[in-house]
Structure 1
Amino acid sequence: MKFPVVASRQSWFIRNRMTLLTIAIVAAYALFIQWFWGWSVILKQWAEVGVIPVVGALVLLTSTYFLRTWRIHDYFPRETAGRFKVLFRITQIHNLLNIMLPFRTGETSFPVLMRTEFGIPLARGTSALLVMRLLDLHALLAAAGIGFAIASPHTIIAWAVWTAFLVVPVIAFALRRPLLRLAGKLLPSKAQKLVIEIERGLPLNAAAFARAWAMTVINWLVKVLVLAWALSLMGVLPMAASFGGALGGELSSVLPVHAPGGVGTYPAGITAGAVALGASSEKTALAALAQASINAHLLIIVSALTGTAISLPLGRTRKL
């Protein structure tokens, strides 16, 4: 039997565990930056960029979270009707967990939260998330392909390959029914329900798929362009290198290998992408690029925390 004081403390920790987890991770990252760079160096670069560009970039990045929420609402219009605020809060919790937890483990929160709040089966929520993540990855790879196609000496072949890759989602969606029927025939009878739930997790029709695809492209276009702009303001040149850095960082965030909070992996992705598209690889230039990548990563984390702060008073889930 638990004493009232112990039970009360446990209840408090349960109610505030997201906040406590966030504070702990942010504090650890702050100590890491102080140890490796020193906050005076980081803040000096922000001061050189200026308040207005930083705030503008933060506002634009935060706005993409509303677009993500709308994409999910469009996936589940009946279940989420009239509850956009609650859905936005869930989206922000999922986004923050996805950023802070390693190896994409934060992704598991999405189907759980959608089932808890909206009664959406786990298989359906998981399949919808898988489709959205595949669209995300495709959009980023297609954007990266533009840079490589421009730089390729075999222009016609490069653009032909890029165009073929661009229409892969359309072909996959067009063939979804025969592919699902084939899966239904090959899988045992106990797995038939899973196939049905996966089909339910896909966009309902071509129009819904087109909307999901369009929202995905707009979301990543805004995010990548804002990050590229921020990197260019911090001295990452030429502009193609800033664009490559933004793509590299975001690609690192959607791939399975992802450190807690993106510490190390996100800045490394920015550095690799920038160098691949023209940034100097000299020692001094690489040091400046590494510092800019840390600042861009901080911008992403601050935007996620801002979105979460906005979502907290908008609606609370019944159970978490």
Structure 2
Amino acid sequence: MKNYSVASQRAWIIRNAMTLLTLATVALYAIFIQWVWGWATVLALWKSAGLGSAFLALAALLGTYVLRTWRIYDYFPTETGGRFGTLLRLTQVHNLLNIMLPFRSGEASFPLLMKREFDLSLARSTAALFVMRLFDLHALLAAAGIGLVLQHHSSWAWALWFGFLVLPVAGFVLRGIGIRFAARVLPAKAERLLAEVEAGLPVDAAAFARAWGATLINWFTKIAVLAWVLGLLGGVSMAPGFGGALGGELSSVLPVHAPAGVGTYPAGISAGAVAFGAAASGAAFEDLAQAAVNTHLLVIVSSLIGTALSLFAARGKG
């Protein structure tokens, strides 16, 4: 009887592993925020700007999380069909782990979670994640590039920016050449792995266009929101705001990226804003530094709230 009870408990834990992981992540993150900043401080920082602005920015960031999930949902329609809520929860847990762990080491959770929840092979989900991260990096740089273009106000700057914007199209068109080259140089034992990698690429031009379009909308929205927040809280103009948003996001991929980006993310924002024309000293820089901390808090609180809400989206599916 005792063995049956233990086995039943184990079965329940296995069935609800994703929910338990989500709850644990949310709880630990909430405790972490209280320990480093204090929830009272988080709310107080936004009172001067207005809670309405905070809620608007928060809603926009939450919308980007839904769009990210849709991109994966559309990428694997057969495997994830009918389980958008579960995928949303998986995406949010993956996002929180990425924020908390240094040097994007949380990325390793994505293929493991996709295997656990949707029985997707590790090779295929890893290949798809790699492609999506290339999309993300390109879109992030393209979004921030708007700040540079706005500084120059010239047709050649817009032409260079547009040329960079459409680079992924060339990569998709030439993908067959890359796959064939890899097949020639890799040993025969790698054929199966290469097939999984190829399966992780967009299946056709329409799938590519949807994934690329969703990525551009996602990052242009996030960078615009963060730039707006930096302008609202730090008084910086549009170009430094875009530069600060880019600097903060790029800081998260550095080897020295601290857990939850404490210190490194705001430093990245300040460095990016200064590189795009913000004041590098004096009272204006002090305002920028404080705004960078507040913007960072907005990003991590939105991730926490998004993960908590995803529990309700996936209720009964898990």
* TM-score, length of structure 2 as denominator length: 0.87
Q: For 1:317 and 1:165, how far apart are their aligned partners in 2?
A: 44
2:31 counterpart of 1:32: no
> Could you tell me which amino acid in structure 1 is paired with residue 50 of structure 2?
G
Q: For 2:72 and 2:43, how far apart are their aligned partners in 1?
A: 36
Tell me the number of residue pairs that the alignment of Structure 1 and Structure 2 aligns: 313
Q: What does residue 81 of structure 2 align with?
A: 81
Q: What does residue 261 of structure 1 align with?
A: 260
Of stretches 230-239 and 185-194 in structure 1, the one that deviates more from structure 2 is: 230-239
Q: What does residue 108 of structure 1 align with?
A: 108
Q: What does residue 232 of structure 2 align with?
A: 233
Whether contact under 8 Å (2:86, 2:317) holds in the other structure is no
Q: For 2:166 and 2:25, how far apart are their aligned partners in 1?
A: 41
Q: For 1:69 and 1:172, how far apart are their aligned partners in 2?
A: 23
SS at match of 2:268: helix
Cα distance, 1:293 vs structure 2: 0.8
Q: What does residue 47 of structure 2 align with?
A: 47
Whether contact under 8 Å (2:103, 2:255) holds in the other structure is yes
Cα distance, 1:30 vs structure 2: 3.6
Cα distance, 1:89 vs structure 2: 1.0
2:285 counterpart of 1:286: yes
Cα distance, 1:258 vs structure 2: 2.7
> Could you tell me which amino acid in structure 1 is paired with residue 36 of structure 2?
F
SS at match of 1:312: helix
Whether contact under 8 Å (1:249, 1:266) holds in the other structure is yes
> Could you tell me which amino acid in structure 2 is paired with residue 47 of structure 1?
K
Q: For 1:106 and 1:191, how far apart are their aligned partners in 2?
A: 26
Q: What does residue 126 of structure 1 align with?
A: 126
Residues 46/143 of structure 1: CA separation in 2 closer, same or farther (3 Å cut): same
Residues 96/117 of structure 1: CA separation in 2 closer, same or farther (3 Å cut): same
Q: Which deviations, in whole Å up to 9, do the C-alpha atoms of 1:190-240 show, x marking residues without a partner?
A: 111111011000001011101111100111111111111112111331222
> Could you tell me which amino acid in structure 1 is paired with residue 281 of structure 2?
E
Cα distance, 1:159 vs structure 2: 4.5
SS at match of 1:203: coil
Cα distance, 1:116 vs structure 2: 1.1
Whether contact under 8 Å (1:184, 1:195) holds in the other structure is yes
Q: For 1:247 and 1:317, how far apart are their aligned partners in 2?
A: 38
Q: Percent identity?
A: 55
2:81 counterpart of 1:56: no
Q: What does residue 213 of structure 1 align with?
A: 212
2:277 counterpart of 1:273: no
For structure 1, list consecutive stretches of 5 or more residues without a partner in the other structure: none
Q: For 1:317 and 1:184, how far apart are their aligned partners in 2?
A: 44
Cα distance, 1:171 vs structure 2: 0.8
Whether contact under 8 Å (1:92, 1:304) holds in the other structure is yes
Cα distance, 1:251 vs structure 2: 2.3
Residues 90/25 of structure 1: CA separation in 2 closer, same or farther (3 Å cut): closer
Q: What does residue 189 of structure 1 align with?
A: 188
Q: What does residue 95 of structure 1 align with?
A: 95
Q: What does residue 164 of structure 1 align with?
A: 163
Q: For 2:274 and 2:64, how far apart are their aligned partners in 1?
A: 27
SS at match of 1:192: helix
Cα distance, 1:163 vs structure 2: 3.4
Cα distance, 1:25 vs structure 2: 4.4
> Could you tell me which amino acid in structure 2 is paired with residue 263 of structure 1?
V
Of stretches 258-267 and 181-190 in structure 1, the one that deviates more from structure 2 is: 258-267
Cα distance, 1:259 vs structure 2: 2.0
For structure 2, list consecutive stretches of 5 or more residues without a partner in the other structure: none
Cα distance, 1:113 vs structure 2: 0.8
Q: For 2:134 and 2:144, how far apart are their aligned partners in 1?
A: 15
Whether contact under 8 Å (2:146, 2:242) holds in the other structure is no
Cα distance, 1:256 vs structure 2: 5.6
> Could you tell me which amino acid in structure 2 is paired with residue 99 of structure 1?
I
Whether contact under 8 Å (2:83, 2:317) holds in the other structure is no
